[in-house]
Structure 1
């Protein structure tokens, strides 16, 4: 089989990340029809369908998602190779400010891979006072949790967050199990910053006479999960930062029902720092690592 064109592969990778043709076209500086044409040519060259009609739009097939995941890794590897073999390589200091929960539960368990790829980069990881704070002047890049509105900054969505109840197995045993959504009210509700996420989940599941404004409020997700793992209540948590605790059995997910959080994780860079030489490889590594994690989680869900 002949190797598909790089432009077609880039069109697929961009479509897979953004989920829409028009956003892929915007990123690649092409027309929507040009992106659609590249995807059709790629299907022809591969001999299998990448896209399927969903309502009025299109989405990747299961096989298309797996192929796009591999393409993403391959393109990232090629880009990283180019960076590494440039004369002089990539070096210098790079300061990252990251929300405490994301830092301790995800970034700190993955960052050595970036350091191995760019050993001449001197990394520093800080945490902000607020989850959406991007005001520390000495920081080169922020991983912030917010609504995406940071004027005078470059803002890139890293991943949406879907919250669902998570708790420890010991808590389930202590309260006699959870069989219906209303059962969560038999223990403490653990909140991140406010009562909004639990209020939306209780409304989605139609729990009657529920008062979400009870329980304990924490300032970051690391504290929420620590309390949940210790059996202090049931958390409204997300699969990304909770993945390690879930895979190790320290947390369990009693329900499949989840809500999309009103806030998301973003890579935020002050416009005066947008030309920092370490930023492009860090951004690419971050995208690739998060995509790998999402693909792995999707594969587990499909096998269940």
Structure 2
């Protein structure tokens, strides 16, 4: 499952509060058909029904009502994060350093929402030389990958990562499927930076006979995922990078076993820059957005189909 869109979540919230598609459309400045389309997209993303047909209209299902209540609280949290800076002049240049993987598979899909909240902020997005590098003097705030060891900096974890193997359905079919981790020796392994992720996962899967040093090593998460989707081998995916590709059927998980990584994504800010209104606004926004994404996904997993 990939992260639900903010437009779809707002559509559900409006329909649940106002009781009709037409009223929701009026509030959000959309057409009724656009509201219905957003609800359908959200249902496909979550895997359960949010509405049901009643005569010529619709009503929210029981599961949809429960989900809508959670979404209303989460949307209120995002709004509150922005309102904390009401009365302050949140403007000027804000340069964000973010690893390519995080930027491609999350930040670039949501950054316009921050710009809409703070139109006076001049946004710049750059990539570091390495995922944990915070040496670029141009950056006001870093989204960094690592274990949190950046001395003399304000550090806060924003994403915990879970790892699991992923591959293209085409490759799995071509090789006749994959029944056991011990069969991985006949696959090309795709690595990010080094061999450590595969080494840890194979140990947890009790597959000691696999040559973890075989395969291809990439320097960028986007390269690994592109090669994996193209059927070039089997990669170690995670809950952030691989979510949308799994939801769209571009990748599959051949095994259920997943491991929690000792590394994750952190907000890292120099103490002297941490009090700037634009830095604080972005920090609050990204934490609220990621919290919404994580909780809506968990809500979708917990809820039974209508």
Shorter-chain TM-score: what band? 0.7 to 0.9
CA distance in 2 between counterparts of 1:287 and 1:296 reads: 14
What SS does the corresponding residue of 1:101 show, helix, strand or coil? Answer: helix
1:76·1:285 contact (CA, 8 Å) conserved in 2?
yes
Cα RMSD (Å): 2.1
Shift of 1:177: 1.1
Counterpart check, 1:78 vs 2:86: no
What SS does the corresponding residue of 1:222 show, helix, strand or coil? Answer: helix
Q: 1:182 to 1:69 in 2, by over 3 A?
A: farther
Question: Gaps spanning 5+ residues in structure 1: where?
Answer: 1-63
CA distance in 2 between counterparts of 1:109 and 1:213 reads: 34
1:69·1:291 contact (CA, 8 Å) conserved in 2?
no
Counterpart check, 1:235 vs 2:210: no
What SS does the corresponding residue of 2:277 show, helix, strand or coil? Answer: coil
Shift of 1:76: 3.3
Aligned ranges 1:121-160 → 2 under 5 Å: 121-160=121-160
Q: Deviations over 1:7-62 (max 9, x none)?
A: xxxxxxxxxxxxxxxxxxxxxxxxxxxxxxxxxxxxxxxxxxxxxxxxxxxxxxxx
Shift of 1:272: 2.0
Counterpart check, 1:168 vs 2:168: yes
Name whichever of 183-192 and 197-206 sits farther off. Answer: 183-192
For 2:188, the equivalent position in structure 1 comes to: 188
CA distance in 2 between counterparts of 1:125 and 1:278 reads: 14
2:167·2:251 contact (CA, 8 Å) conserved in 1?
yes
Question: Gaps spanning 5+ residues in structure 2: where?
Answer: 1-65
Q: Deviations over 1:221-265 (max 9, x none)?
A: 111101101111111010212112112111111221111122110
What SS does the corresponding residue of 1:155 show, helix, strand or coil? Answer: strand
For 2:270, the equivalent position in structure 1 comes to: 270
Q: Deviations over 1:162-203 (max 9, x none)?
A: 110011111111111112222333211111111111011111
2:81·2:288 contact (CA, 8 Å) conserved in 1?
no
CA distance in 2 between counterparts of 1:136 and 1:67 reads: 42
Q: Deviations over 1:201-231 (max 9, x none)?
A: 1111111412211111111211110110111
The count of residues paired between Structure 1 and Structure 2 equals: 239
Shift of 1:275: 1.7
What SS does the corresponding residue of 1:298 show, helix, strand or coil? Answer: helix
TM-score (norm 1): 0.73
